[in-house]
Structure 1
Amino acid sequence: MSATTAPEPTAALPTRSDEHPVTLDRREGPYGEVVLRERGEHFEIVANGCFLMDTSDGRSERLLIDAALTALPAGRTAPSVLIGGLGVGFSLVRAAEEERWGRITVVEREEAIVDWHRDGPLDRISGAALADPRTAILRADLVEHVRTSTERYDALCLDIDNGPDWTVTEDNGNLYSPAGLAHCHDRLAPGGVLAVWSAQPSPAFERALRNAGFSGVRTEEVAVARGVPDVVHLALRAG
C-alpha cells in the first residue's frame, strides 16, 4: 500500500479555522520533512506536506485506547500497551489517565516530535503522561520494532498514518501487508488486541486482518463535521 491511493495531500489540510497557521518548527529527517504549526489555540503536525493531526478534537485518538482496553479479556491485570506514534499526545495521555493500564510504551521515530513533547510546546498536553512511571518512549521505527522485537504486549494501538490506505511514507505500507500483520500478531500476547486508527473505513483492511489470523474483527466510528468518519479497526489474537 502507498500514499498514492489517497487524495492529494493539500486536499487533506484542515479548514477548522480561518486563522493563518504559524510554523513553530520545521525539520528534515531520515523520513522527510516534519512541521509543527500553531493555528489559533491549536497545534498541527504536518509530515512531507501531508496533514497528520491537530489538537482540536482528539476523540478518535482517545477511542483508540479506550476500545483496546474494553476489548481485552475480563480480569487481565495491568495489561501492557504499545502506542505506535506519539503524534500530539492524545493517545498517550488517555492511556496514562487510565489506572488499569500497566506498562505504556510509545514508539516514535521522529526525533522532532519527541522533542516537541519533552521540551517544546506540546509539553502542555503530554507533560504529566510523560512523567508517569509507567511510560517509556522508544525512539524507533514502528515497522522495524514490530518486526524485530521479542516483546509481547496485551494491546497494540497504532496511529502512524492517515490509515492503512493512506500512509505517510511508502515504507509504512509494510505494516499493513500480510507480513506486517503477521508481525503484529506475534507481538501480541494471547487474547491481545490490535487497534489501528484510520481517517476512513477500510473493508479491504478488515479482510486483511481476518486473513492474517485475527478474530473479532470490527470497526468503531467517530463522526466528524464533514466527510467520512474517523475509525478504529479492532482485531484480537486468539487466547
Structure 2
Amino acid sequence: MLPWILLDTAQIPGGGALRLKKRGGEFSIMLGDNELMNSRLSGSEEALATLSLNKIGRRPAPVILIGGLGMGFTLRAALASLDASARVEVAELVPAVVAWARGPMADVFRGSLDDPRVKILEGDVGSFIGARAGAYDAILLDVDNGPDGLTQSANDRLYNGPGLAAARAALKPGGVLAVWSCAPDESFTRRLRKAGFETEERPVRAGRGRGARHMIWLASRTNRD
C-alpha cells in the first residue's frame, strides 16, 4: 500500500492546524488524528447541496451561501443543479484551503472555482450570515464536523440560539438552512425548531450508498413569516 505523504499544514484562526495529505490519487484533510474529509467519500457532502436545492425548488436567480469549502463536493453538486442565473458564495475560514483547491487538489475541484457563478469569501461564515438580512435562498453549512464541533469552540455560535436566529434572518421567505453533521444531535434538532424553523432530519451515507452514516438537517423558513 502506498504511504500517506504530508503536503502542507495550515493554522486555523483561533487555534489548531489542518494537514493536507496525499496517497496516490487520494487526498485527506486531517485535524490531529481526526480525518475531516477524504476525496474518496463525497456522498453526504453532495447530498447537502442536492437535498437543499430540491427543497427550495426552482427560483429565479437564486443566491446560495456555502459555509466551508472543504474538497468542493458540495459546491460542485450545487453548480450542477443550478442554472446560469444563480450565484454561489463560498465562505472559507482557512485561506490555505482555497490555495489547496487551486493547487494540489485542482483535479478534485475540476475548475469549479473558476465558474462565473462562484464567489469565494475568505473569513468566518457567521460574519457573512449576520451581514445580509433576507439575502439567501439557501445557506449550506459544513463547518467543524457539525453542531458538535472539533476545531473551534467559536463555531458554536453558528449552531446556538442567536446563531440560528441570524441564519433565519439571512434567508428569504421559504429559504432553507441545511446543516451537515457527522452524527445525529437531538438537542440541535430542538434548537432549530425553537428558532422557528420547520425541520427535517435526513440520514445520508458518507459515500454514495456506502460508508458511515451522517446527518443533514433541512430547516425551512416558512413563507408566512
Both structures adopt the same fold (TM-score exceeding 0.5)? yes
Q: List structure 1 runs of 4+ shifted beyond 4 angstroms.
A: 224-227
Mark the runs of 5 or more structure 2 residues left unpaired by the alignment: none
Match of 1:186 in 2: 169
1:97 aligned residue (69, 80, 90) = 80
- Over the matched positions of the two proteins, sequence identity in percent amounts to 38
Return 169-178 or 36-45, whichever deviates more.
36-45
Q: CA distance change for structure 1 residues 151 and 131 in 2, over 3 Å: closer, same or farther?
A: farther
Structure 2 letter corresponding to 1:223? R
**1:142 Cα shift?**
1.2
| Comparing 21-30 and 142-151, the one that deviates more | 142-151
Between 31-40 and 103-112, the greater mean CA deviation after superposition: 31-40
Give 1:234's match in structure 2, choosing from 199, 218, 221. 218
Shift of residue 151 of structure 1?
6.2
* Deviates further, 26-35 or 91-100: 26-35
Give the superposition deviation at 1:152.
1.2
The letter of the residue matching 2:106 is D
Question: Do residues 153 (structure 1) and 111 (structure 2) align?
Answer: no
Taking the aligned partners of 1:218 and 1:29, their CA distance within structure 2 comes to 31
Query: Which residue of the partner structure matches residue 146 of structure 2?
Result: 163
Residues in 1 aligned to 2:17 and 2:160: alpha-carbon distance in whole angstroms: 25
* Residue in 2 that maps onto 1:46: 30
Contact 1:24 1:36 in 2 (8 A): yes
- The alpha carbon displacement at 1:29 in A equals 4.4
The TM-score normalised by the length of structure 2 is 0.90
- Equivalent residues, number: 218
User: CA 1:56–1:75 in structure 2 vs 1: closer, same or farther (change >3 Å)?
Assistant: closer
Q: Tell me how far 1:27 sits from its aligned partner.
A: 2.5
Match of 1:9? Answer: none
1:6 maps to which residue? none
Is the Cα–Cα contact under 8 Å of residues 10 and 94 in structure 2 kept in the other structure?
no
Which letter does structure 2 place at the counterpart of 1:220? Answer: R
**Are residue 57 (structure 1) and residue 48 (structure 2) matched?**
no
Q: Residues of 1 paired with 2:43 and 2:134: CA distance?
A: 29
- 1:161 Cα deviation from its structure 2 partner: 1.6
> 1:115: how far off?
0.4
Secondary structure in 2 matching 1:160: coil
Is 1:218 equivalent to 2:208 in the alignment? no
- The answer for unaligned runs of 5 or more in structure 1 is 1-17
- SS of the equivalent of 2:175 reads strand
Amino acid at match of 1:38: K
Deviation of 1:55 after TM superposition, in Å, equals 0.6
Structure-to-structure mapping, 1:2-21, within 5 angstroms: 19-21=2-4
8 Å CA contact 1:29, 1:110 repeated in 2:
yes
Q: How has the CA–CA distance of structure 1 residues 235 and 182 changed in structure 2, closer, same or farther, with 3 Å as cutoff? A: same
Matched, 1:22 2:5: yes
